[in-house]
């Protein structure tokens, strides 16, 4: 790595890393609509029909009892439940259109729904990757490094419930180490690792300790959300059911996300995939509202396709973009906040990783998503979390945030006098107007270079990933832990120690 | 290069290169609007005010006479002309909202304006670049290779008037060799190299020969368009004036493109830059309509910014995206077709090249551009044409074309019966519905890989640029020259030989 020495001509690495301040984003644009109003109705009607006739399988017996009590019909011994559209509509009316999620630092509180837009870091990969050590199973120390960067990158609003698995820790208690790291290394909102009731409950308890609130207070002012994946097609498994029960009961939020890859987990058509995705969301939504009326939910869209030559997942595709636009229309029609993602199928941080991510981001943001999951750090169809991709994505997210900032039009911005004062064929470099505006006029990039070819070549011909590699190391070196009361930290440590003894005596 | 041997597991390189067929694109989406209607009016009012008070400089004396005859006021001896808004509005009413551009192969004819969308290859760089030979001044043989690829890539609708300079040919007659190559190697529409009247006239004459039409017929059924850059701020130079005269007089088309980089060639604000850009377009528009009422024109937007730390051009920025949205609103309000571009400032085909290109493409296409210039092949703020970027851009353009294709919603596409037939938690791989749809269900990429990490690593861990390198070589090897009547080719050869003798006796 020679960047830190030679790259100094851009005054980037020598000083602090330039980035935008932490800002809650509001999307000012009318979402892009790919479906006609009739098509939206036809897809939602299809979803109702699927729930009424094919039905959805609920593997957890308690959930079936609750659904029967709510008016659903048990079809077989395997857990298939039919829900008629009257029941689904009745439950849908209970879903809040917008809700808040608090953070330990209240300056980092979030709003979900409406025109609000939240960027969440990558969650769930099996591997970690960086240019120095390559692709590998991750450790808890590396998870902590990743979390520090998520705290440091202002454009990331929310942590994801673990950036990747810490394979050096026992799986039964790994979630406790993750929560402790989240709560001590970040003061942003962090998601739960919601695989089962125990892990979800531990997250809720530790949030109460970290924030110094009771469970009742947390229900009033929620802090916990988790991704609830269905087992597509048309099934909710037991661990996810437990998570829904814990979250809904305690007034926290669920993002219901079917895993509908068209051609494998759903039909090889977008309309069919969207109908099935909507049916699965509505099925789980109905259950969550039966658990607790008014449960806070998000319509999660992950619809993409498989590569029909190999059966491999294909992310960041044109189909992904179109499904995101359509899902936004469906979610708004249903009155639910929308989650989408920043996805790609590349194995490295190259042009493909960037253009597939952009296709996902434009689909998500112009589709009206309220929460973009995996917004920073995802690689390789979600198998890997990448340190360099985290930085490159943060740059792309900052650029999108700038696109969401309106253009000011007034006498000062129109600059007609300044234009009148510059000679035709001349330039605006030294005008009073330019001098008054230049410092904050334009987006200042973090990892993009505007060096000319000769200077760039002299500086080592570094590609974007190499420059990102230097940046995350600098950011890690400059990381500052947010303050935490010593008594709170001790209480968290005690909780983790006690729970570890209980789980692995 | 090992890709052609090992990459065969994706069945790409072994067979013919997969690509979408040549299709005239129509943009079905409502453009994204960043300005309110009042803001659009304020910017256009600002442009009128600039032309009425500061005025625009026309360096060519004949153009000044024509403008005075049309009602403009000559302010000084340097060529500054003031045009009042009455005059500009009168001329604006003469601009056609839509027009056709024919190609040698009529299947490749184009429509400019309305909801039509045309992708044009990169035009004008000083250098050429590929991974084998690096960045260098180009030769005519290399220009011909690039032209063959433009012919072969179906997603590219129009050639740009020369992808880069052929530095091994004398500058006085280089345009003749370019035109001969365009007309024999392609049967798509090709732009003129409109630096001065002579070069523009030669293009018109050779198009008449190539298509077997008279100048009158060509005026009725035009084939020639060229980019007319103003010398921003607020100046039109002599060679560009001559091009406008030749093109307008002969019924061919001009794309008027100011070079307004905010902070250098225009104020360091977007509103001021858009007002100045609009003033320059309207100044040249008024002149072109004075030359010939009904002259076919395009509003060219190139508004971006400079890097305020170095003064270097910054392309593919959030400001570029926002200016493209705004320019679309302004052009539609004026009733003119819009040109925008696919730009970036990267020095290599890496993540930055891709995400800046995507920011440009989404700005252009969702801004409602009718023509995207530099749509494929541009690198390094326009200093270089890249063989690998040409392929990567073609992939990005194909993905955008797919996003423009509506979602079908009908009983077959909704697939409710097929969904009913699949077991919950099962899969759709082998269903009759999947088998019936899978072959054409989803976009099949050209250069993107969906190989899993292990296979990709075994195949050499090739990044997108490396894979593109193999693809353009294969495409060049497979290139087939479109048919041309021997007599026509002979007539073109004779014209070029005669003109070379006249220019360099």
pLDDT computed for residue B392 by the predictor: 98
Residue in chain B closest to A449 (alpha carbons) equals: B346
**A504: its two tokens:** 């692995």
Nearest-CA distance from B217 to chain A in Å? 38
**Element holding B418 (H helix, E strand):** helix B416-421
**CB proximity under 8 Å: A 414-433 to B:** 414-416, 418-420, 422-429, 431, 433
Q: For residue B218, is pLDDT > 70?
A: yes
- Tell me, yes or no, if B214 comes closer than 8 A to chain A by beta carbon: no
Residue written as tokens 């198009």?
B207
**A14: its two tokens:** 């020598």
- Tell me, yes or no, if B411 comes closer than 8 A to chain A by beta carbon: no
Chain B interface, best mutation among A267, A308, A309, A436, by max B CB count within 10 A: A267
Residues 6+ apart with CB under 8 A from B317: A399, A442, A443, B304, B305, B356, B359
- Report d(CA A21, CA A108) in Å as an integer: 11
pLDDT tens for each residue of B140-168: 999 999 999 999 999 999 999 999 999 99
Q: Average of pLDDT values for B250-262?
A: 97
pLDDT tens for each residue of A408-453: 999 999 999 999 999 999 999 999 999 999 888 999 999 999 999 9
Residue A129, classified by CB atoms within 10 Å of its CB into exposed (0-12), middle (13-18) or buried (19+), is buried
Cross-chain CB nearest to B358 (options A269, A310, A358): A358
Q: What's the angle, vertex CA B343, arms to CA A396 and CA B397, rounded to 5?
A: 85
Confidence at B10, pLDDT banded by 50, 70, 90: very low
Q: What is the 3-state secondary structure (H, E, C) of B167-224?
A: CCCCCCCHHHHHHHHHHHHCCCEECCCCCCHHHHHHHHHHHHHHHCCCHHHHHHCCCC
- Report d(CA B88, CA A278) in Å as an integer: 53
Report CB contact under 8 Å: A271, B414: yes
pLDDT computed for residue A5 by the predictor: 30
Residue written as tokens 């949030």?
A207
Confidence at A1, pLDDT banded by 50, 70, 90: very low
- Find, among B306, B313, B375, the residue nearest to B339 by Cα: B375
pLDDT tens for each residue of A315-339: 999 999 999 999 999 999 999 999 9
Residues 6+ apart with CB under 8 A from B483: none
Q: How many CB atoms lie within 10 A of CB B27?
A: 18
ipTM for the complex? 0.96
Q: How many CB atoms lie within 10 A of CB A89?
A: 13
- Tell me, yes or no, if B282 comes closer than 8 A to chain A by beta carbon: no
Q: For residue B459, is pLDDT > 70?
A: yes
SS3 A360: helix
Contact assessment for residue A418 and residue A431, using Cβ atoms and an 8 Å cutoff? yes
Report CB contact under 8 Å: B326, A276: no
Percent of chain A with pLDDT over 90: 94
Cross-chain CB nearest to A350 (options B57, B383, B463): B463
Which residues in chain A have Cβ-Cβ distances shorter than 8 Å to B354? 350-355, 358
The chain-wide mean pLDDT, for chain A, equals: 95
Chain A interface, best mutation among B10, B39, B428, B463, by max A CB count within 10 A: B428
Contact assessment for residue A350 and residue A316, using Cβ atoms and an 8 Å cutoff? no
pLDDT tens for each residue of A382-410: 999 999 999 999 999 999 999 999 999 99
Strand partners, B266: B262
**CB proximity under 8 Å: A 452-481 to B:** 452-453, 456-457, 461, 463-465
Report CB contact under 8 Å: A355, B355: yes
Chain B interface, best mutation among A349, A414, A433, by max B CB count within 10 A: A414
Report CB contact under 8 Å: B235, A424: yes
Report CB contact under 8 Å: B358, A356: no
Nearest-CA distance from B60 to chain A in Å? 14
Nearest-CA distance from A19 to chain B in Å? 14
Contact assessment for residue B389 and residue B347, using Cβ atoms and an 8 Å cutoff? no
Q: Helices (H) and strands (E) in chain A — how many of each?
A: 19, 22
Residues 6+ apart with CB under 8 A from A239: A195, A196, A197
- Find, among B442, B397, B355, B368, the residue nearest to A361 by Cα: B355
Nearest-CA distance from B374 to chain A in Å? 17
pTM for this model (two decimals): 0.96
Residue in chain B closest to A325 (alpha carbons) equals: B403
Which residues in chain B have Cβ-Cβ distances shorter than 8 Å to A399? 317-318, 321, 355, 359
**Element holding B226 (H helix, E strand):** strand B225-229
- Tell me, yes or no, if B262 comes closer than 8 A to chain A by beta carbon: yes
Query: How many cross-chain Cβ pairs, A to B, lie less than 8 Å apart?
Result: 414
pLDDT computed for residue A440 by the predictor: 86
Which residues in chain B have Cβ-Cβ distances shorter than 8 Å to A50? 416, 419-420
Strand partners, B98: B113
- Report d(CA A127, CA B130) in Å as an integer: 33
- Tell me, yes or no, if A268 comes closer than 8 A to chain B by beta carbon: yes
Which residues in chain B have Cβ-Cβ distances shorter than 8 Å to A424? 56-57, 78, 80, 231, 233-235
Q: Average of pLDDT values for B485-501?
A: 98
Tell how strand B80-82 and strand B73-74 pair up: antiparallel
CA-to-CA separations, B447 to A305, A386, B351, B499, in angstroms, rounded: 17, 22, 15, 42
Contact assessment for residue A416 and residue B49, using Cβ atoms and an 8 Å cutoff? yes
**A92: its two tokens:** 């849908």
pLDDT tens for each residue of A337-381: 999 999 999 999 999 999 999 999 999 999 999 999 999 999 999
pLDDT computed for residue A308 by the predictor: 82
pLDDT tens for each residue of A31-64: 999 999 999 999 999 999 999 999 999 999 999 9
Cis peptide before B233 (omega within 30 of 0): yes
Confidence at B12, pLDDT banded by 50, 70, 90: very low
- Report d(CA A435, CA A68) in Å as an integer: 70
Q: For residue B1, is pLDDT > 60?
A: no
Which residues in chain B have Cβ-Cβ distances shorter than 8 Å to A413? 269-272
Residues 6+ apart with CB under 8 A from A37: none
Residue in chain A closest to B312 (alpha carbons) equals: A450
Nearest-CA distance from B16 to chain A in Å? 15
Contact assessment for residue B194 and residue B162, using Cβ atoms and an 8 Å cutoff? no
Chain B interface, best mutation among A424, A456, A471, by max B CB count within 10 A: A424
CA atoms within 13 A on the CB side of B340: 34
pLDDT computed for residue B4 by the predictor: 31
CA B349, B352, B355, B361: dihedral to nearest 10 degrees? -60
**CB proximity under 8 Å: B 149-208 to A:** none
Cross-chain CB nearest to B452 (options A29, A312, A348): A312
Contact assessment for residue B109 and residue B100, using Cβ atoms and an 8 Å cutoff? yes
Cross-chain CB nearest to A49 (options B322, B326, B416): B416
**CB proximity under 8 Å: B 310-339 to A:** 310-314, 317-319, 321-322, 326
Strand partners, A378: A385
Residue in chain A closest to B265 (alpha carbons) equals: A427
- Report d(CA B200, CA B319) in Å as an integer: 33
Q: For residue A8, is pLDDT > 60?
A: no
pLDDT computed for residue B2 by the predictor: 26
SS3 B235: strand
pLDDT tens for each residue of A238-295: 999 999 999 999 999 999 999 999 999 999 999 999 999 999 999 999 999 999 999 9
- Tell me, yes or no, if A403 comes closer than 8 A to chain B by beta carbon: yes
pLDDT tens for each residue of B398-416: 999 999 999 999 999 999 9
Q: For residue B345, is pLDDT > 60?
A: yes
pLDDT computed for residue B265 by the predictor: 96
Confidence at A10, pLDDT banded by 50, 70, 90: very low
Which residues in chain B have Cβ-Cβ distances shorter than 8 Å to A269? 408, 412-415, 433, 437, 441
> What's the N-to-C CA distance of chain B in angstroms?
46
**CB proximity under 8 Å: B 71-90 to A:** 78, 80
pLDDT computed for residue A438 by the predictor: 86
pLDDT tens for each residue of A214-244: 999 999 999 999 999 999 999 999 999 999 9
**Between A37-53 and A318-334, two packed helices, what is the crossing angle to 10 degrees?**
80
Of the given ranges (A298-312, A313-327, B222-236), which has the lowest mean pLDDT? A298-312
Cross-chain CB nearest to B426 (options A135, A233, A318): A233
pLDDT tens for each residue of B90-129: 999 999 999 999 999 999 999 999 999 999 999 999 999 9
Chain A interface, best mutation among B30, B355, B401, by max A CB count within 10 A: B355
- Tell me, yes or no, if A394 comes closer than 8 A to chain B by beta carbon: no
Residue in chain B closest to A444 (alpha carbons) equals: B307
Q: How many CB atoms lie within 10 A of CB B426?
A: 16
Report CB contact under 8 Å: A428, B235: no
pLDDT tens for each residue of B16-50: 798 999 999 999 999 999 999 999 999 999 999 99
Report CB contact under 8 Å: B355, A356: no
Contact assessment for residue B320 and residue B343, using Cβ atoms and an 8 Å cutoff? yes
The chain-wide mean pLDDT, for chain B, equals: 95
- Report d(CA A250, CA B189) in Å as an integer: 65
Nearest-CA distance from B489 to chain A in Å? 40
- Report d(CA A114, CA A27) in Å as an integer: 9
Residue B133, classified by CB atoms within 10 Å of its CB into exposed (0-12), middle (13-18) or buried (19+), is exposed
- Find, among A306, A323, A322, the residue nearest to B438 by Cα: A306
**B463: its two tokens:** 């990044």
Q: For residue A12, is pLDDT > 90?
A: no
Confidence at B6, pLDDT banded by 50, 70, 90: very low
pLDDT tens for each residue of A114-139: 999 999 999 999 999 999 999 999 99
């Amino acid at each position: 790595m020679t960047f830190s020495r030679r790259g100094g001509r851009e005054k980037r690495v020598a000083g602090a890393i330039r980035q935008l301040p932490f800002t809650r984003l509001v999307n000012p644009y009318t979402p892009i609509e790919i479906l006609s109003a009739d098509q939206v109705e036809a897809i939602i009607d299809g979803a109702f029909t699927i729930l009424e006739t094919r039905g959805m399988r609920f593997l957890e017996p308690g959930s079936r009892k609750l659904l029967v009590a709510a008016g659903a019909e048990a079809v077989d011994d395997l857990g298939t439940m039919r829900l008629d559209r009257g029941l689904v509509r009745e439950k849908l009316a209970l879903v809040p259109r917008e809700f808040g999620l608090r953070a330990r630092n209240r300056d980092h509180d979030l709003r979900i729904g409406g025109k609000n837009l939240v960027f969440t870091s990558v969650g769930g990969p099996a591997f970690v990757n960086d240019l120095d050590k390559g692709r590998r199973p991750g450790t808890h120390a590396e998870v902590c490094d990743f979390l520090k960067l998520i705290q440091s990158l202002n454009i990331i609003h929310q942590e994801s419930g673990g950036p990747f698995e810490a394979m050096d820790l026992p799986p039964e208690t790994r979630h406790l180490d993750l929560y402790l790291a989240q709560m001590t290394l970040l003061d942003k909102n962090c998601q739960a690792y919601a695989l089962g009731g125990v892990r979800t409950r531990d997250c809720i308890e530790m949030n109460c300790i970290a924030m110094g609130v009771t469970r009742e207070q947390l229900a009033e002012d929620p802090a916990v959300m988790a991704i609830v994946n269905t087992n597509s097609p048309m099934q909710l498994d037991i661990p996810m059911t437990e998570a829904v029960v814990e979250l809904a009961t305690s007034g926290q939020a669920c993002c219901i996300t079917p895993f509908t890859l068209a051609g494998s987990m759903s039909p090889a058509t977008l309309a069919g995939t969207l109908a099935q995705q909507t049916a699965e969301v509505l099925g789980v939504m109905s259950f969550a509202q039966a658990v607790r009326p008014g449960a806070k939910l998000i319509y999660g869209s992950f619809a993409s396709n498989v590569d029909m030559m190999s059966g491999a997942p294909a992310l960041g595709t044109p189909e992904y973009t179109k499904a995101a636009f359509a899902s936004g229309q469906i979610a708004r029609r249903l009155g639910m906040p929308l989650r989408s993602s920043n996805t790609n199928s590349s194995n490295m941080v190259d042009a493909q990783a960037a253009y597939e991510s952009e296709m996902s981001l434009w689909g998500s943001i112009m589709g009206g998503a309220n929460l973009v999951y995996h917004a920073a750090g995802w690689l390789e169809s979600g198998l890997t979390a990448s340190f360099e991709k985290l930085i490159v994505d943060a740059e792309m997210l900052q650029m999108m945030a700038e696109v969401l900032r309106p253009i000011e039009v007034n006498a000062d911005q129109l600059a007609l006098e300044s234009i009148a004062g510059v000679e035709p064929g001349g330039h605006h470099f030294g005008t009073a107007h330019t001098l008054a505006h230049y410092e904050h006029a334009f987006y200042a990039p973090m990892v993009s270079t505007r060096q000319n070819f000769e200077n760039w070549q002299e500086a080592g011909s570094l590609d974007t990933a190499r420059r990102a590699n230097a940046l995350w190391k600098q950011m890690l070196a400059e990381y500052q832990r947010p303050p935490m009361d010593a008594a709170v930290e001790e209480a968290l440590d005690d909780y983790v120690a006690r729970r570890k003894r209980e789980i692995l005596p």
